[in-house]
A and B are shown apart, each in its own frame.
Chain A
Amino acid sequence: MLSMVDKVVAKVSGVFAALGAAMIGLLALTMVADVVGRQFGSPVTGIVELAAQTVVISAFLTIPYVMRRGGHIRATVLVNRTPPIVRKTLEVVAYLIGAVIFALLAFSAWDAFVEDFVKASYEGEGALRIPTWPARLTIFLASVLMIFESLLATAKTFVEVKK
């Protein structure tokens, strides 16, 4: 059961991260197109707002994958010198803190998403208006995924300790 859920969550995190990374690659190409296009009098419209939204969306798309890969920056030098049981306990504490803060974020991001979606809020002006709800929705979905990742990491640590 646990391993099945784990596989599904891993897959979702992987797909999210792939989308996020692809967006970064596309942003690079679009921006170069803008730099080149400017020389010929045809810049990409709204590149500034496009870049800003890409940063938010790609950041949140990759955050759960970072968790899965154990890549959230932490100081391990002291912890690595403690006995395994202390280390495992501290790990569980860290995961639970992760679950709590992303639950808080999911809660507040959902309200913001509903509000922006209903009001059809947008950023940017002139020719290119970018709706804000996709970014809000991404924050919400990524936070929910982070809750899953944190709880799974907790569960896996317990299974490890039992063995």
Chain B
Amino acid sequence: MSSVDIAELAVLAVFVLVLSGVPISFSLIVTSFVGMYLITDKLDVAFNLLNAVAYSGIRDYVFAVIPLFVLMGAFMTNSRAAESLFTAVHYLLKKVRSGLAIATVGANAIFAAVTGVSVASAAVFSNVAYPQMQRYGYSKRMSLGVVAGSSILGMLIPPSLLMILYGILTQVSIGKMFIAGLVPGLVLALMFSAYLYVSSYFRPDMYGIDTPNPNRFVLKAQKKAAARELKHPEDFDSDEFPDLGRPSGKISLPGMVTQTIAIQTVQMSFGRAMLGAVPIVALVALVIGGIWGGVFSPTEASAVGAVGALIIAPLMGMDWKKFIKAFQQTAVAVGGILLLLIAASFFSRMLATSGFINQVSEFIQGLDIGPMALVILFILILIVMGTILDSSSILLLAIPLMFPSILALGIDPIWFGIVFIIAVEIGLLTPPFGMVPFAMNATLGKRASVEDIFAGSFPFVLVMVAFLVLLMFFPGIATWLPELLR
């Protein structure tokens, strides 16, 4: 058996193990160890490499960006940040047709700038925005789709875990990836909003417009009741967010809490509605602006972000219990991602030693299909992978195999990074197994079936495909800003 054959078997073994529910990091480490032993026929080599990747594989200043941004996101997720943003954006859009749905997209776009994980955004906004849209008579599928679709902005708008991993694997500057994500993130958010606005004229019933709303009477009565209580609005405590570390089936949102937000939004003064969003927007400006202006490196920006979030989160309802919870969530996310990173670098070194990676890129270049056709082929593969795996695993598995060909064909690595992320995120919304609807289902429990969420997100998937096509014809959307920095 040649070493390339061994590597091929190892790739196959990883897929079998992963689909059998073995943790992805475990699958990669065990196959890499066995593969390395079989290729070199020396047990020592396998041991040495395992020891080397566990220590040197992550012993790097740049990698500190991962735990620090995770910590920042955890502080913000355990405060009322998402609610404050939603309230503020909704206030601005309250006269706009389908304003509540557009507010969800807008609040998600800003929240994306304090967290780097789509699944976290989906879970938080399931609790914050979904009940609101239901109350205003938006159709169930519509409301679920908006939350699922706009949550993908979390990965596209910096800081983004996927961009960090992409930068680490490809040696593309993480700071440049962050800057490159800004315009595509905003354009996609605008495209989502445009879709919502236009389609509300074709299907007003889905947006609670011009239809008898069974909730309307109830709402009026509640408004009056709440208006009396509003003299002490600060007494309304936010509801606890679900544990993001592991999906649970518990439903954790008593109606009362969100109703008060809804009514506050209607009755609040402009200043009061904006007040909650100001510290978050300031933090975002500090972190992104700092990277943009070259004041600090992405790693330093993540530290500034974490400390900044630690200062503003207690002002927005993070008490001691949630503070501890933020650290617990950080521990779970950091250990999981860094072990995955160790495992993936073990695996790609094994594949490189075997000559498999060379063989794959020779094969791909031998296809002679031109750069655009190749990118489209990659996109299709990524979407299929996205329906089974989570986004960071896909990136760690696919990039070592795809990236050499991208470089060889002279495709802009920053542009490909953005295309890559969108393709993976499309997969996360695609049946049968896309992860975002499952995460939302875990948060919302019986109130929303996975099928409804998939159906509701379908229009957003189409918008994202349209956006990919747009990126093909106008690569400048992704490359223009980072080129300005050069």
| B217 touches A (CB below 8 Å) | no
| B261 touches A (CB below 8 Å) | no
Q: Give complex CA distance A63, B333 in Å.
A: 9
Contact A55–B58 (Cβ < 8 Å): yes
Contact A70–B246 (Cβ < 8 Å): yes
Contact B336–A56 (Cβ < 8 Å): no
Interface string of A102-113 (1 = CB under 8 A from B): 001101110110
Contact A65–B71 (Cβ < 8 Å): no
| A28 touches B (CB below 8 Å) | yes
Contact A75–B24 (Cβ < 8 Å): yes
User: Which residues on A sit within 8 Å (CB–CB) of B64?
Assistant: 27, 31, 51-52, 54-55
Contact B331–A17 (Cβ < 8 Å): yes
Q: Give complex CA distance A64, B335 in Å.
A: 8
User: Which residues on B sit within 8 Å (CB–CB) of A78?
Assistant: 19-21, 388, 433
Interface string of B373-411 (1 = CB under 8 A from A): 000000000000000111011000000000000000000
Contact B299–A51 (Cβ < 8 Å): yes
Q: Give complex CA distance A70, B246 in Å.
A: 7
Contact B21–A59 (Cβ < 8 Å): no
Contact B26–A94 (Cβ < 8 Å): yes
User: Which residues on A sit within 8 Å (CB–CB) of B284?
Assistant: none
Q: Which residue on chain A has the smallest CB distance to residue B295?
A: A35
| B306 touches A (CB below 8 Å) | yes
A115, chain B: closest CB distance, angstroms: 10
Contact B19–A75 (Cβ < 8 Å): yes
A46, chain B: closest CB distance, angstroms: 11
Contact B50–A104 (Cβ < 8 Å): yes
Interface string of A78-109 (1 = CB under 8 A from B): 11000000010011011001101100110111
Contact A32–B304 (Cβ < 8 Å): yes
User: Which residues on A sit within 8 Å (CB–CB) of B17?
Assistant: 97
User: Which residues on A sit within 8 Å (CB–CB) of B68?
Assistant: 24, 27-28, 31
| A152 touches B (CB below 8 Å) | no
Most chain A CB within 10 A, of B299, B334, B433, is at B334
Partner of B327, one of A25, A31, A79: A25
Contact A63–B339 (Cβ < 8 Å): yes
Q: Which residue on chain A has the smallest CB distance to residue B392?
A: A73
Q: Which residue on chain A has the smallest CB distance to residue B72?
A: A28
A58, chain B: closest CB distance, angstroms: 6
Partner of B23, one of A54, A69, A94: A94
Contact B340–A73 (Cβ < 8 Å): yes
User: Which residues on B sit within 8 Å (CB–CB) of A49?
Assistant: 61
User: Which residues on B sit within 8 Å (CB–CB) of A48?
Assistant: 61
CB within 8 Å of A: which B32-58 residues: 33, 47-48, 50-51, 54-55, 58
| B332 touches A (CB below 8 Å) | yes
Contact A29–B22 (Cβ < 8 Å): no
Contact B331–A104 (Cβ < 8 Å): no
Q: Give complex CA distance A73, B428 in Å.
A: 15
Contact B18–A74 (Cβ < 8 Å): yes
Contacts A59-B335, A62-B335; is A76 near B21 (CB within 8 Å)?
Answer: yes
| A71 touches B (CB below 8 Å) | yes
User: Which residues on B sit within 8 Å (CB–CB) of A144?
Assistant: none
Contact B331–A98 (Cβ < 8 Å): no
Interface string of A100-132 (1 = CB under 8 A from B): 110011011101100000000001000000000
| B307 touches A (CB below 8 Å) | yes
Q: List 27 A-B contacts (CB under 8 A).
A: A20-B335, A21-B330, A24-B68, A32-B304, A35-B300, A52-B63, A55-B64, A58-B334, A59-B58, A63-B339, A66-B336, A71-B245, A71-B332, A71-B333, A72-B336, A73-B390, A74-B22, A76-B21, A77-B388, A78-B20, A78-B21, A90-B20, A90-B21, A93-B22, A98-B26, A101-B29, A135-B59
Q: Which residue on chain B has the smallest CB distance to residue A74?
A: B23
Contact B54–A105 (Cβ < 8 Å): yes
Q: Give complex CA distance A76, B393 in Å.
A: 14
Contact A139–B54 (Cβ < 8 Å): yes
Q: Which residue on chain A has the smallest CB distance to residue B74?
A: A21
CB within 8 Å of A: which B215-257 residues: 245-246
| B30 touches A (CB below 8 Å) | yes
User: Which residues on A sit within 8 Å (CB–CB) of B358?
Assistant: none
Contact B331–A21 (Cβ < 8 Å): yes
User: Which residues on A sit within 8 Å (CB–CB) of B310?
Assistant: 25, 28
Contact B47–A107 (Cβ < 8 Å): yes
Contact B21–A79 (Cβ < 8 Å): yes
Contact A32–B303 (Cβ < 8 Å): yes
Interface string of A13-34 (1 = CB under 8 A from B): 0000110111011011101101
A137, chain B: closest CB distance, angstroms: 11
User: Which residues on B sit within 8 Å (CB–CB) of A62?
Assistant: 331-332, 334-335, 338
Q: Give complex CA distance A94, B29 in Å.
A: 12
User: Which residues on B sit within 8 Å (CB–CB) of A157?
Assistant: none
Q: Give complex CA distance A94, B21 in Å.
A: 7
Most chain A CB within 10 A, of B33, B60, B335, is at B335
User: Which residues on A sit within 8 Å (CB–CB) of B342?
Assistant: 59
Q: Which residue on chain A has the smallest CB distance to residue B342?
A: A59
B194, chain A: closest CB distance, angstroms: 33
| B149 touches A (CB below 8 Å) | no
B141, chain A: closest CB distance, angstroms: 21
Q: Give complex CA distance A74, B343 in Å.
A: 13
Q: Give complex CA distance A104, B43 in Å.
A: 11
Q: Give complex CA distance A103, B122 in Å.
A: 37
Which are the 4 A-B pairs with shortest beta-carbon distances?
A62-B335, A31-B303, A79-B21, A59-B338
| B328 touches A (CB below 8 Å) | yes
User: Which residues on A sit within 8 Å (CB–CB) of B136?
Assistant: none
